[in-house]
Amino acid sequence: MINLSGIYPPIPTPFTNDEQLALDQLAANVQRWLAQPLDGLVTPGSNSEAAFLTPAEKLAIWNQCGVLLQGTGKYLIAGTGAETTAETIALTQAAAAAGATAALVITPSFFKAAMTHSALVAHFQQVAEAAPIPILVYNVPAFTGIDLTPATILTLAEHPRIVGMKDSSANVSKVAQVLAARPQFQVFSGSGSALLPFLSIGAVGGIMALANVAAVPLRRLLDAFATGDLATARRVQLALVELNTAITACYGVPGLKYALDQLGWYGGPSRRPLPPLDAAARADLDRLLHKLHAMPAAR
Protein backbone atom coordinates (compact mmCIF):
# COMPACT_ATOMS: atom_id res chain seq x y z
CA MET A 1 0.00 0.00 0.00
CA ILE A 2 1.32 3.44 -0.93
CA ASN A 3 2.38 5.69 1.94
CA LEU A 4 0.92 9.17 1.33
CA SER A 5 1.81 10.61 4.73
CA GLY A 6 2.83 14.24 5.03
CA ILE A 7 1.71 17.83 4.51
CA TYR A 8 -0.35 18.84 1.48
CA PRO A 9 -1.99 22.11 0.44
CA PRO A 10 -5.31 22.02 -1.40
CA ILE A 11 -4.13 24.68 -3.81
CA PRO A 12 -6.36 27.58 -4.91
CA THR A 13 -7.22 27.79 -8.58
CA PRO A 14 -5.88 31.00 -10.17
CA PHE A 15 -8.31 32.93 -12.35
CA THR A 16 -7.89 35.97 -14.53
CA ASN A 17 -9.98 39.08 -13.88
CA ASP A 18 -12.61 37.72 -16.29
CA GLU A 19 -12.71 34.43 -14.33
CA GLN A 20 -10.86 32.26 -16.84
CA LEU A 21 -8.19 29.76 -15.77
CA ALA A 22 -4.80 31.44 -15.39
CA LEU A 23 -2.61 28.46 -16.24
CA ASP A 24 0.62 30.46 -16.44
CA GLN A 25 0.01 31.72 -12.91
CA LEU A 26 -0.79 28.18 -11.81
CA ALA A 27 2.57 26.99 -13.15
CA ALA A 28 4.41 29.76 -11.33
CA ASN A 29 2.59 28.99 -8.07
CA VAL A 30 3.31 25.27 -8.37
CA GLN A 31 7.02 25.93 -8.83
CA ARG A 32 7.02 27.91 -5.59
CA TRP A 33 5.09 25.22 -3.71
CA LEU A 34 7.55 22.62 -4.94
CA ALA A 35 10.30 24.57 -3.17
CA GLN A 36 8.40 24.34 0.11
CA PRO A 37 8.66 21.40 2.58
CA LEU A 38 5.50 19.81 1.23
CA ASP A 39 4.87 16.22 0.19
CA GLY A 40 2.73 17.11 -2.79
CA LEU A 41 -0.30 19.08 -3.91
CA VAL A 42 -4.05 18.50 -3.88
CA THR A 43 -6.27 19.92 -6.62
CA PRO A 44 -9.06 20.63 -6.93
CA GLY A 45 -10.31 20.69 -3.37
CA SER A 46 -12.73 22.95 -1.56
CA ASN A 47 -10.09 25.69 -1.47
CA SER A 48 -9.58 25.24 -5.22
CA GLU A 49 -13.22 26.26 -5.83
CA ALA A 50 -13.78 22.74 -7.11
CA ALA A 51 -17.55 23.24 -7.24
CA PHE A 52 -17.00 26.08 -9.74
CA LEU A 53 -14.76 24.12 -12.15
CA THR A 54 -15.84 22.25 -15.26
CA PRO A 55 -14.49 18.75 -15.97
CA ALA A 56 -12.39 20.22 -18.80
CA GLU A 57 -10.87 22.79 -16.45
CA LYS A 58 -10.05 20.11 -13.90
CA LEU A 59 -8.32 18.08 -16.59
CA ALA A 60 -6.29 21.10 -17.72
CA ILE A 61 -5.15 21.67 -14.13
CA TRP A 62 -4.20 18.00 -13.65
CA ASN A 63 -2.32 17.89 -16.92
CA GLN A 64 -0.24 20.91 -15.99
CA CYS A 65 0.40 19.81 -12.41
CA GLY A 66 1.20 16.27 -13.52
CA VAL A 67 3.95 17.53 -15.80
CA LEU A 68 5.37 19.90 -13.18
CA LEU A 69 5.44 17.28 -10.42
CA GLN A 70 6.92 14.54 -12.59
CA GLY A 71 10.28 13.44 -11.21
CA THR A 72 10.06 15.64 -8.10
CA GLY A 73 9.21 12.84 -5.69
CA LYS A 74 6.09 14.75 -4.68
CA TYR A 75 2.57 13.45 -5.09
CA LEU A 76 -0.38 14.86 -6.99
CA ILE A 77 -3.65 14.04 -5.25
CA ALA A 78 -6.60 14.85 -7.49
CA GLY A 79 -10.01 15.85 -6.20
CA THR A 80 -12.27 13.75 -8.40
CA GLY A 81 -15.53 13.54 -6.47
CA ALA A 82 -18.76 14.36 -8.28
CA GLU A 83 -22.46 13.93 -7.61
CA THR A 84 -22.78 10.77 -9.70
CA THR A 85 -20.77 7.60 -9.44
CA ALA A 86 -20.22 7.49 -13.20
CA GLU A 87 -18.75 11.00 -13.35
CA THR A 88 -16.56 10.33 -10.32
CA ILE A 89 -15.17 7.23 -12.02
CA ALA A 90 -14.53 9.12 -15.27
CA LEU A 91 -12.77 11.96 -13.46
CA THR A 92 -10.68 9.56 -11.41
CA GLN A 93 -9.53 7.71 -14.50
CA ALA A 94 -8.74 11.00 -16.26
CA ALA A 95 -6.74 12.25 -13.27
CA ALA A 96 -4.75 9.03 -13.16
CA ALA A 97 -3.91 9.37 -16.85
CA ALA A 98 -2.71 12.93 -16.16
CA GLY A 99 -0.29 11.73 -13.51
CA ALA A 100 -2.24 11.77 -10.25
CA THR A 101 -0.92 9.45 -7.56
CA ALA A 102 -4.22 9.21 -5.67
CA ALA A 103 -7.75 10.58 -5.79
CA LEU A 104 -9.57 12.53 -3.09
CA VAL A 105 -13.28 11.74 -3.39
CA ILE A 106 -15.85 13.90 -1.62
CA THR A 107 -19.18 12.46 -0.54
CA PRO A 108 -22.08 13.09 -2.95
CA SER A 109 -24.49 15.40 -1.14
CA PHE A 110 -27.25 16.87 -3.31
CA PHE A 111 -29.74 14.13 -2.39
CA LYS A 112 -28.70 14.03 1.26
CA ALA A 113 -31.58 11.94 2.55
CA ALA A 114 -30.70 9.17 0.10
CA MET A 115 -27.03 9.08 1.11
CA THR A 116 -27.44 6.24 3.58
CA HIS A 117 -24.66 3.96 4.80
CA SER A 118 -25.41 1.44 2.04
CA ALA A 119 -25.62 4.10 -0.69
CA LEU A 120 -22.32 5.69 0.29
CA VAL A 121 -20.57 2.34 0.63
CA ALA A 122 -21.81 1.29 -2.82
CA HIS A 123 -20.69 4.59 -4.36
CA PHE A 124 -17.15 4.54 -2.96
CA GLN A 125 -16.67 0.84 -3.58
CA GLN A 126 -17.74 1.17 -7.22
CA VAL A 127 -15.37 4.11 -7.68
CA ALA A 128 -12.54 2.16 -6.08
CA GLU A 129 -13.19 -0.89 -8.26
CA ALA A 130 -12.84 1.23 -11.41
CA ALA A 131 -9.98 3.41 -10.17
CA PRO A 132 -6.41 2.80 -11.33
CA ILE A 133 -5.09 4.78 -8.33
CA PRO A 134 -5.70 4.68 -4.55
CA ILE A 135 -8.69 6.52 -3.09
CA LEU A 136 -8.88 8.89 -0.13
CA VAL A 137 -12.38 9.52 1.15
CA TYR A 138 -13.12 13.22 1.78
CA ASN A 139 -15.38 13.93 4.76
CA VAL A 140 -16.31 17.63 4.95
CA PRO A 141 -19.71 17.97 6.62
CA ALA A 142 -19.52 21.78 6.79
CA PHE A 143 -19.92 21.86 2.99
CA THR A 144 -21.80 18.65 2.21
CA GLY A 145 -24.08 18.30 5.23
CA ILE A 146 -23.02 14.63 5.39
CA ASP A 147 -20.77 13.40 8.19
CA LEU A 148 -19.50 9.87 7.63
CA THR A 149 -19.97 7.58 10.61
CA PRO A 150 -17.19 5.38 11.98
CA ALA A 151 -19.13 2.34 10.76
CA THR A 152 -19.25 3.65 7.19
CA ILE A 153 -15.59 4.65 7.21
CA LEU A 154 -14.50 1.27 8.55
CA THR A 155 -16.54 -0.55 5.92
CA LEU A 156 -14.89 1.54 3.21
CA ALA A 157 -11.45 0.88 4.72
CA GLU A 158 -11.88 -2.82 3.97
CA HIS A 159 -11.47 -2.11 0.25
CA PRO A 160 -7.79 -2.45 -0.75
CA ARG A 161 -7.83 0.70 -2.91
CA ILE A 162 -9.53 2.91 -0.30
CA VAL A 163 -6.39 3.68 1.66
CA GLY A 164 -7.34 6.65 3.80
CA MET A 165 -9.43 9.72 4.49
CA LYS A 166 -9.22 13.48 4.74
CA ASP A 167 -11.43 14.46 7.65
CA SER A 168 -12.40 18.11 7.98
CA SER A 169 -14.84 17.61 10.83
CA ALA A 170 -12.06 17.92 13.45
CA ASN A 171 -13.91 15.20 15.36
CA VAL A 172 -11.02 13.58 17.22
CA SER A 173 -13.25 11.10 19.02
CA LYS A 174 -14.70 9.73 15.76
CA VAL A 175 -11.32 9.48 14.07
CA ALA A 176 -9.95 7.73 17.16
CA GLN A 177 -12.65 5.09 16.82
CA VAL A 178 -11.61 4.50 13.22
CA LEU A 179 -7.89 4.31 13.95
CA ALA A 180 -8.39 2.09 17.00
CA ALA A 181 -9.99 -0.48 14.71
CA ARG A 182 -7.89 0.19 11.61
CA PRO A 183 -4.54 1.76 12.59
CA GLN A 184 -3.09 1.40 9.07
CA PHE A 185 -5.84 3.58 7.56
CA GLN A 186 -4.17 6.82 6.45
CA VAL A 187 -6.08 9.68 8.05
CA PHE A 188 -5.29 13.31 7.23
CA SER A 189 -6.44 16.30 9.21
CA GLY A 190 -8.42 18.67 7.04
CA SER A 191 -7.82 21.56 9.42
CA GLY A 192 -4.55 23.25 10.31
CA SER A 193 -5.93 23.80 13.80
CA ALA A 194 -6.42 20.07 14.37
CA LEU A 195 -3.15 18.69 13.01
CA LEU A 196 -1.51 17.97 16.37
CA PRO A 197 -4.62 16.39 17.94
CA PHE A 198 -5.01 14.19 14.88
CA LEU A 199 -1.34 13.19 14.89
CA SER A 200 -1.64 12.24 18.55
CA ILE A 201 -4.18 9.52 17.74
CA GLY A 202 -2.40 8.13 14.68
CA ALA A 203 -3.14 10.41 11.72
CA VAL A 204 -0.36 10.55 9.13
CA GLY A 205 -0.51 14.21 8.13
CA GLY A 206 -2.73 16.98 6.92
CA ILE A 207 -4.41 18.26 3.75
CA MET A 208 -4.96 21.82 4.91
CA ALA A 209 -5.63 25.25 3.44
CA LEU A 210 -3.03 26.57 5.89
CA ALA A 211 -0.31 24.56 4.13
CA ASN A 212 -0.55 26.93 1.17
CA VAL A 213 0.96 29.75 3.22
CA ALA A 214 2.54 28.08 6.26
CA ALA A 215 4.30 24.96 5.01
CA VAL A 216 7.45 25.59 7.05
CA PRO A 217 5.84 25.82 10.50
CA LEU A 218 3.50 22.94 9.71
CA ARG A 219 6.52 20.81 8.75
CA ARG A 220 8.22 21.83 11.96
CA LEU A 221 5.14 20.74 13.90
CA LEU A 222 5.08 17.38 12.10
CA ASP A 223 8.81 16.80 12.61
CA ALA A 224 8.67 17.84 16.27
CA PHE A 225 5.85 15.38 16.90
CA ALA A 226 7.74 12.60 15.11
CA THR A 227 10.81 13.12 17.32
CA GLY A 228 8.83 13.37 20.55
CA ASP A 229 9.35 17.12 20.99
CA LEU A 230 5.76 17.70 22.06
CA ALA A 231 6.48 21.11 23.60
CA THR A 232 7.59 22.49 20.23
CA ALA A 233 4.73 20.78 18.40
CA ARG A 234 2.23 22.28 20.84
CA ARG A 235 3.76 25.76 20.63
CA VAL A 236 3.66 25.78 16.82
CA GLN A 237 0.13 24.38 16.73
CA LEU A 238 -1.24 27.05 19.04
CA ALA A 239 0.57 29.81 17.16
CA LEU A 240 -1.13 28.79 13.90
CA VAL A 241 -4.72 28.54 15.11
CA GLU A 242 -5.72 32.18 14.57
CA LEU A 243 -4.40 32.35 11.01
CA ASN A 244 -5.96 28.99 10.17
CA THR A 245 -9.35 30.15 11.43
CA ALA A 246 -9.07 33.36 9.42
CA ILE A 247 -8.39 31.69 6.06
CA THR A 248 -10.96 28.95 6.57
CA ALA A 249 -13.95 29.72 8.79
CA CYS A 250 -13.76 33.53 8.66
CA TYR A 251 -12.67 34.61 5.17
CA GLY A 252 -12.61 31.38 3.15
CA VAL A 253 -11.18 31.15 -0.35
CA PRO A 254 -11.03 34.92 -0.97
CA GLY A 255 -9.04 35.25 2.25
CA LEU A 256 -6.64 32.51 1.26
CA LYS A 257 -6.14 34.06 -2.16
CA TYR A 258 -5.49 37.45 -0.60
CA ALA A 259 -2.90 35.87 1.69
CA LEU A 260 -1.16 34.33 -1.31
CA ASP A 261 -1.08 37.68 -3.08
CA GLN A 262 0.46 39.30 -0.03
CA LEU A 263 3.14 36.59 0.24
CA GLY A 264 4.24 36.80 -3.39
CA TRP A 265 2.20 33.98 -4.94
CA TYR A 266 -0.67 34.64 -7.32
CA GLY A 267 -4.01 34.52 -5.55
CA GLY A 268 -6.15 36.67 -7.78
CA PRO A 269 -9.94 36.83 -7.83
CA SER A 270 -12.40 34.12 -6.93
CA ARG A 271 -15.27 33.12 -9.15
CA ARG A 272 -18.61 34.71 -8.46
CA PRO A 273 -20.70 34.54 -6.39
CA LEU A 274 -17.80 34.50 -3.88
CA PRO A 275 -17.33 38.15 -2.88
CA PRO A 276 -13.99 39.97 -2.59
CA LEU A 277 -12.67 40.86 0.85
CA ASP A 278 -13.55 44.16 2.44
CA ALA A 279 -10.95 46.51 3.94
CA ALA A 280 -11.39 45.21 7.49
CA ALA A 281 -10.78 41.62 6.41
CA ARG A 282 -7.68 42.60 4.46
CA ALA A 283 -6.32 44.49 7.46
CA ASP A 284 -6.94 41.52 9.74
CA LEU A 285 -5.14 39.17 7.38
CA ASP A 286 -2.24 41.60 7.05
CA ARG A 287 -1.89 41.50 10.84
CA LEU A 288 -1.93 37.72 10.94
CA LEU A 289 0.54 37.36 8.08
CA HIS A 290 2.91 39.70 9.89
CA LYS A 291 2.67 37.41 12.92
CA LEU A 292 3.33 34.40 10.71
CA HIS A 293 6.46 36.00 9.27
CA ALA A 294 7.68 36.75 12.80
CA MET A 295 7.36 33.13 13.92
CA PRO A 296 10.73 31.38 14.30
CA ALA A 297 9.19 28.29 12.67
CA ALA A 298 8.13 30.30 9.62
CA ARG A 299 11.66 31.00 8.40
Q: Residue 275 has what pLDDT?
A: 96
| Residue 110 CA: distances (Å) to CA of 42, 58, 79, 260 | 23, 20, 18, 31
| Residue 188 CA: distances (Å) to CA of 18, 85, 87, 171, 268 | 35, 23, 25, 12, 28
State the Cα–Cα distance between residues 210 and 298, nearest whole angstrom: 12
Give the residue from 222, 206, 121 showing the smallest Cα distance to 167: 206
Reading the chain (299 residues) residue by residue, the pLDDT tens digits are 899 999 999 999 999 999 999 999 999 999 999 999 999 999 999 999 999 999 999 999 999 999 999 999 999 999 999 999 999 999 999 999 999 999 999 999 999 999 999 999 999 999 999 999 999 999 999 999 999 999 999 999 999 999 999 999 999 999 999 999 999 999 999 999 999 999 999 999 999 999 999 999 999 999 999 999 999 999 999 999 999 999 999 999 999 999 999 999 999 999 999 999 999 999 999 999 999 988 876 55
Q: Residue 296 has what pLDDT?
A: 76
Q: Residue 191 has what pLDDT?
A: 97
Q: Residue 29 has what pLDDT?
A: 98
Classify each residue of 217-255 as buried b or exposed e, where b means 16 or more C-beta atoms within 10 Å of its C-beta. Answer: bbbbbbebbeeeeeebbebbbebbeebbbbbbeebbbbb
Q: Residue 299 has what pLDDT?
A: 53
Assess whether 166 carries a catalytic annotation. Answer: yes
Q: Residue 160 has what pLDDT?
A: 97
**93 and 100 in contact (C-beta within 8 Å)?**
no
Phi, psi for 115 (deg, rounded to 5): -85, 65
Q: Delineate the domains of the chain, giving CATH numbers in brackets.
A: 6-298 (3.20.20.70)
User: Which residue type sits at 3?
Assistant: N
State the Cα–Cα distance between residues 276 and 171, nearest whole angstrom: 31
Q: Residue 295 has what pLDDT?
A: 82
pTM check: above 0.85: yes
Active-site annotation holder among 166, 174, 257, 291: 166
